[in-house]
Amino acid sequence: MTEIVRSHIGGTLVESDGSFIDKHYPATGEVIAKVEIANDVMLDEAVAKASEAQREWAKTSVQERGQILIRAAHALREANAELSRLEVMDVGKVYSEAASADVPSGPDALEFFGAAIMTYTGVQHQWPGAVGYSRRVPIGVCAGIGAWNYPAQIALWKSAPALAMGNAFILKPSEMTPLVSMRIVAIMEEAGLPKGLMNIINGDYRIGSAICQHPGIAKVSLTGGVDTGKLIMKQSADSLKRVTLELGGKAPLIICDDADLNKAADIAMSANFYTAGEVCSNATRVFVHRSVADELIAMMVDRTSRLKVGDPMADDVDIGAVISEKHLQKITGMIAKGIDEGASLAVGGNRVHPQGFEGGYFIEPTILTSCQDDMTVVRDEIFGPVMSVLIFDDDDEAIRRANATHYGLGAGLITRDLARAHRMGDQLEAGNVWINTYNIIPPDLPFGGVKQSGFGRESSLFAFEAYSDVKATYIAIDE
């Protein structure tokens, strides 16, 4: 029987009007669930329940809030295998990635923010005849609208700082990945999170738009595409909502002539093929110094040709499915366009139909060489397992070309020269720069973009700023 996914409001599953969206398992193409689209009355109810719960939650001590969130983190860790399977059913990514990194990064955030709020203090002021203090206070009901690539992480990276700060939260997952976040909320409530503090409203962009316009919601945080980010800002303008945007990217990875090539090949491949390339910060423009290019490309082509694509649950599979048939068509269309515009297909490029998973959305990891900066594959986000290799001759040229994009989420650099690493790292226009590694985001490191990759930060103490106001108190003491 196909599962019905409803909305989770005030601790209960709430039925809507009976309009559904099919949820497909990307590895088989089969419909495995039907997502019931929430209506505006349900959103009003979620906001009312969240407001009521938030008023009580904000009165609790930071110790109590922190301890509840840390307990929830432990419960989620215990359920890691179950949640990782749901993440795979949602996204089609390989289980080993879900279970080792993507899903655990959610409880890591809850634990970090639960602990951090216990030590988070304000600023004290002093003047002749007066004293004062400024502190961060909750803003009320916050909302998160999620992309489909990291549903567990998105649910918790957004809600953890919001809840720790004393807010309530309403999440709208992508209509394509509703499963794992529903279970996450249930587990958090079982672990003691008061009902109404964490709600899920399911549906597509229409309910997302209603969230942006709702006067009872103080803040919205989006993870999604640049065009969606612009719409979110417009839709949120009338209610003057605070907005943070985690948007797309077309990150550069610069591999210098002194790089350890063995390491560089591994980093470049993981920065392109992890989660079948469906990662916003992926380094899809790989700039390689001319003197090492032939050797490095040969190493990457050899290793890429040995990657296994198929059943995401199988231990020996490296690359799972992409999210949908439509997305697969977009990726293959982009590869064809790249070749049309003059790129060479060094490896991959084909759709595959693994045995037993013939209806799934699988594509070989792909490397395009002889790329030029003005090609569509080099300029536009593909969000699939497609690496574009570009050749450079000197550091200044590499930096100039790496920065020639309206995106600015991530950037990477591989060199053994410490001074060069600092100098070039400083010049890269990106919210996150990784040197001799890529895509590592511990919970205490801020993550987010500059330029059109968005604004605001997730992870780290900086994330509290997105979910709080500053309140200043001035006290006259000279009677």
Judged by CB under 6 A, which of 5, 109, 409, 466 binds ligand NDP? 409
Please pick, from the candidates 181, 199, 221, 228, the single residue that binds ligand NDP as defined by CB under 6 A.
228
Name every residue whose Cβ is closer than 8 Å to that of residue 276 and which is 6 or more positions away in sequence: 92, 93, 319, 320, 321, 322, 363, 384, 385
Stretch that binds ligand NDP, among 6-14, 206-214, 290-298, 342-350 (CB under 6 A): 206-214
Q: Which is nearer to ligand NDP, 133 or 205 (CB)?
A: 205
Q: What are phi and psi of 282, to 5 degrees?
A: -55, 145
DSSP 8-state symbol, 447: B
The reply to whether 274 sits near ligand NDP by the rule CB under 6 A is: no
Chain positions 437 to 456 lying near ligand NDP, rule: CB under 6 A, are: 449
Minimum distance of ligand NDP from residue 448's CB (angstroms): 7
Phi first, then psi: what are they for 39, rounded to 5°? -105, 180
To the query of whether residue 158 is one of the catalytic residues in this protein, the response is: yes
Verify binding: residue 280, ligand NDP, rule CB under 6 A.
yes
Q: How far apart are CA 262 and CA 355, in angstroms?
A: 32
Nearest to 246 by CA among 450, 90, 386, 442: 450
Cα–Cα distance measured from residue 354 to residue 324, given in angstroms and rounded to the nearest whole number: 16
Instruction: Determine if 170 is a binding residue for ligand NDP (CB under 6 A).
Output: no
Q: Which candidate in 87, 175, 189, 458 is catalytic?
A: 458
Closest to ligand NDP by CB, 204 or 465 = 204
Q: Does 246 bind ligand NDP (CB under 6 A)?
A: yes
Does the footprint of ligand NDP cover residue 20 (CB under 6 A)?
A: no
Query: What is the token pair recorded at 163?
Result: 């809840």
Cβ-in-10-Å burial (0-12, 13-18, 19+) of 403 comes to: middle
Element holding 345 (H helix, E strand)? strand 344-347
Nearer to ligand NDP, 123 or 445 (CB): 445
State yes or no: residue 463 binds ligand NDP (CB under 6 A). no
144 contributes a contact to ligand NDP by CB under 6 A: no
Concerning whether 280 is annotated as a catalytic residue, the answer is yes
Minimum CB separation of residue 277 from ligand NDP in Å reads 11
Query: Taking a C-beta distance cutoff of 8 angstroms, is the pair 310, 318 a contact?
Result: no
Give the count of beta carbons closer than 10 Å to the beta carbon of residue 447: 22
Q: Closest separation between CB of residue 190 and ligand NDP, Å?
A: 26
Q: How far is the CB of 307 from ligand NDP (least distance, A)?
A: 22
**Judged by CB, which is closer to ligand NDP: 157, or 392?**
157
Give min distance, CB of 116 to ligand NDP, in A.
20
369 contributes a contact to ligand NDP by CB under 6 A: no
Catalytic annotation on 471? Answer: no
* Total residues in contact with ligand NDP, by rule CB under 6 A: 30
Q: At what angle do helices 395-403 and 418-427 cross, to 10 degrees?
A: 30
Q: How many CB atoms lie within 10 A of CB 118?
A: 18
286: part of which helix (H) or strand (E)?
strand 285-289
Q: Which amino acid is at 335?
A: I
Cα dihedral sign, 129-135-140-146: positive
Query: DSSP character for 414?
Result: E
Residue 395 or 458 having the CB closest to ligand NDP: 458
Cβ closest to ligand NDP, residue 101 vs residue 280: 280
Binding flag, residue 149, ligand NDP (CB under 6 A): yes
Q: Quote the strand ranges of 1-129, DSSP E.
A: 3-5, 7-9, 12-14, 20-24, 31-36, 123-127
Task: For residue 36, state whether it binds ligand NDP (rule: CB under 6 A).
Answer: no
Query: Is the Cα torsion angle 172, 178, 184, 185 positive or negative in sign?
Result: positive
- Name the residue nearer to ligand NDP (CB basis): 264 or 409: 409
Residues facing residue 286 across a β-bridge: 253, 389
Binding region for ligand NDP (CB under 6 A)? 145-149, 172, 174-175, 204-205, 208-209, 212, 222-225, 228, 231-232, 235, 246-249, 280, 381, 383, 409, 449
Cite the active site residues: 158, 246, 280, 458
